[in-house]
Amino acid sequence: MMRFGERLRMTVFGSSHGPEVGVEIEGVPAGVIVDLPAIQRQLDRRRPVGRRLATRRHEEDRLEIDRGLVDGISDGGPIRAHVANTDVRRAPYERLGDVPRPGHADYPARIRYGPTADLSGGGIFSGRMTVGLVIAGAIARGLLAGRGVDVLAVTRSIGPVEATWPAEAPLASLRDLAAGHEVESPDPAAAALMEAAIEAARREGDSLGGIVEIRADGLPVGLGEPFFDSVESELAHAYFSVPAVKGVEFGAGFAAARMRGSEHNDPFVWLDGRVRTTSNHAGGILGGLTTGMPLVARVAVKPTSSIARPQQSVDLATHRACTVTVTGRHDPCIVPRAVGVLENVTAFVLADLGFRGGWLP
Ligand SMILES: Cc1cc2nc3c(=O)[nH]c(=O)nc-3n(C[C@H](O)[C@H](O)[C@H](O)COP(=O)(O)O)c2cc1C
């Protein structure tokens, strides 16, 4: 299923080593001014070029709008956008159909799609597919910004290194702090340690995972479509579509299981003419609906599977044990590249729920 969303829908297309990757977005009303430089800035955030800690694949990721905009204003029809794949090297992937990489999608994809499965560069399972998610989310965040909603994702941890910051820090200051570091973490000391840890893992032919934390401020009370399309369900659905995401939690998340009700419940208060809570263990969601408190989610990203070390595999033709040594170009840690993806995906889901709840016209 390459399509996601209900009132605001995205269909992603392309593959890692095909001619392009992109997205078609349906549901953007006519007359919306689409900030193209802002979309490009979001694409640049996930782009590997110019980063010390990313794959050496050199893709410019220049945004091309194919249809749906007239002079930067939506015409009410589907918006189709793509970026070209220009730096394609197929050779390192030629044997992966027979000898799957541990931890990547090669094995189930080969069984599901047969010998013609496109596994080059990861095919449709590549992180490159998230280009479409970023474009769609960047358009959505324009819609949210017009209603005073701001969304930010930052890195909470990489491997064993954990960042800290005050829970109530304004998003603008977190954004400024995070922008100074390739890992996009707002704790400068931790960010330096994270970057050193990624460098060390790369030198050792290994990789690291980590946790991305996402916050959305300024949301109205009552977004979400219970029963099945609760805010958590929709966000988790979208987050788990991002390759390498292995865990999602909201608010106190798994820690809630070890708390008592008296500790976990967020007391209500009347503050500045509205209802607030004095803590936010709920992560801004009760009953699948937004509470008007900051929405807080954390997403666990696994360590990159394609590492430069010999690994045990099976030759699917002979059924013999063998060793696979992954070549090609890979991120030693996916987290710094996934931060912007998860931020934009969040905006997309919230805008879709906004249309569904009648909050966005
Ligand atoms: C932005 C981004 C970049 C990625 N880069 C790589 C990479 O360089 N090498 C790799 O093996 N996997 C990379 N991945 C992850 C794989 O696409 C993913 O692990 C694989 O498709 C298997 O899916 P799963 O991990 O969700 O089970 C990346 C993912 C994202 C979101």
Residue closest via CA to ligand 1's atom 8 equals 330
Q: What percent of the chain has pLDDT over 70?
A: 100
> For 159, which DSSP code?
T
Distance CA 243, CA 345 (A): 13
For residues 122 and 129, the answer to whether their CB atoms sit within 8 Å is: no
Q: Ligand 1: distance of its center to the CA of 87 in Å?
A: 17
Kind plus residue range of the DSSP H or E element containing 195: helix 188-203
What is the DSSP annotation of 285-329? EETTEE-SSPEEEEEEEPPPS--SS-EEEEETTTTEEEEE---S-
Q: What is the pLDDT of residues 140-165, one digit of tens each?
A: 999 999 999 999 999 999 999 999 99
Q: Ligand 1: distance of its center to the CA of 333 in Å?
A: 9
| Class of the CATH domain delimited by 3-356 | alpha beta
The one-letter amino acid code at 31 reads G
Residue closest via CA to ligand 1's atom 3 equals 127
Kind plus residue range of the DSSP H or E element containing 297: strand 295-301
Q: What is the pLDDT of residues 248-277, one digit of tens each?
A: 999 999 999 999 999 999 999 999 999 999
211-224: average pLDDT:
98
pTM of the model: 0.97
Is the C-beta atom of 251 inside 6 A of ligand 1?
Answer: no
Residue closest via CA to ligand 1's atom 1 equals 127
Residue closest via CA to ligand 1's atom 20 equals 104
pLDDT at 85 over 80: yes
Distance CA 221, CA 284 (A): 9
Is the C-beta atom of 305 inside 6 A of ligand 1?
Answer: yes
Q: Which atom of ligand 1 is nearest to the CA of 46?
A: 1
Q: Which atom of ligand 1 is nearest to the CA of 329?
A: 8
Give me the pLDDT at residue 198, please: 97
> For 63, which DSSP code?
-
Q: Which residues contact 5 (CB under 8 A, 6 or more apart)?
A: 27, 348, 349, 352
Q: Ligand 1: distance of its center to the CA of 337 in Å?
A: 10
Q: How many Cβ atoms sit within 10 Å of the Cβ of residue 79? A: 24
Is the C-beta atom of 127 inside 6 A of ligand 1?
Answer: yes
Q: Say if strands 3-4 and 64-67 run parallel, antiparallel, or are unpaired.
A: unpaired
Q: Ligand 1: distance of its center to the CA of 129 in Å?
A: 10
The separation between the first and the last C-alpha atoms of the chain, rounded to the nearest angstrom, is 27
Q: Which of 45-54, 180-189, 220-229 has the lowest mean pLDDT?
A: 45-54
